[in-house]
Amino acid sequence: MKKKILITGAAGYIGSILSTELVKLNYEVVAVDILKYEQNSLSHLHFYKNFKFIKGDVTKPSVVKKILKGCNYIIPLAALVGAPLCDKFKKETKRLNVDSIKLLIKHLNKKQKIIYPTTNSGYGVGEKNKFCDENSPLRPVSLYGVTKLQAEKIILSHKNSICFRLATVFGYSYRMRTDLIVNNFTQKAVKEKKLEIFEPHFRRNFVHVKDVVSAFIFAIENFNKLKNNIYNLGLSSANITKLALAKKIKNKVKNLKIKIITNAKDPDKRDYFVSNKKIENAGFKASIPLEKGISELIDLFSSSDVDFINNY
Ligand SMILES: NC(=O)c1ccc[n+]([C@@H]2O[C@H](COP(=O)([O-])OP(=O)(O)OC[C@H]3O[C@@H](n4cnc5c(N)ncnc54)[C@H](O)[C@@H]3O)[C@@H](O)[C@H]2O)c1
Tens-place pLDDT, residues 20-34: 999 999 999 999 999
The CATH homologous superfamily to which domain 4-170+206-235 belongs is NAD(P)-binding Rossmann-like Domain (3.40.50.720)
Residue 268 has pLDDT above 80, yes or no: no
pLDDT of residue 273: 86
In this predicted structure, what is the pLDDT of residue 45? Answer: 98
Residue nearest to atom 2 of ligand 1 (CA): 169
Which residues make up the CATH 3.40.50.720 domain(s) of the chain? Answer: 4-170+206-235
Please compute the mean of the pLDDT values over residues 181-196 and round it to a whole number.
95
- Architecture of the domain whose range is 181-204+237-303: Alpha-Beta Complex (3.90)
- 178 alpha carbon to ligand 1 midpoint, in Å? 14
181 Cβ closer than 6 Å to some ligand 1 atom: no
Q: What is the pLDDT of residue 86?
A: 94
Encode pLDDT of 50-100 as tens digits.
999 999 999 999 999 999 999 999 999 999 999 889 999 999 999 999 999
| Ligand 1 atom with minimal separation from the 177 CA | 20
**Ligand 1 pocket member 78 (CB < 6 A):** yes
pLDDT number for residue 131: 86
Q: At a CB cut-off of 8 Å and minimum separation 6, what does 175 contact? A: 11, 12, 13, 15, 16, 37, 38, 41
User: Which of 85-99, 185-199, 295-309 shows the lowest per-residue confidence on average (mean pLDDT)?
Assistant: 295-309
pTM of the model: 0.96
Q: Return mean pLDDT, the chain.
A: 93
Decide: 99 in ligand 1 pocket, CB within 6 A.
no
User: Is pLDDT larger for residue 312 or for residue 72?
Assistant: 72
Q: Where does the chain hold its CATH 3.90.25.10 domain(s)?
A: 181-204+237-303
Q: Tell me, in angstroms, the distance from the centre of ligand 1 to residue 47's CA.
A: 24
Q: How far apart are CA 76 and CA 8, in angstroms?
A: 5
- How far apart CA 151 and CA 157 sit, in angstroms, is 10
What mean pLDDT do residues 166-193 have?
A: 95
Q: How far is the CA of 22 from the centre of ligand 1 (A)?
A: 18
Burial class of residue 139, CB neighbours in 10 A (0-12, 13-18, 19+) = middle
Q: Which atom of ligand 1 is nearest to the CA of 16?
A: 16
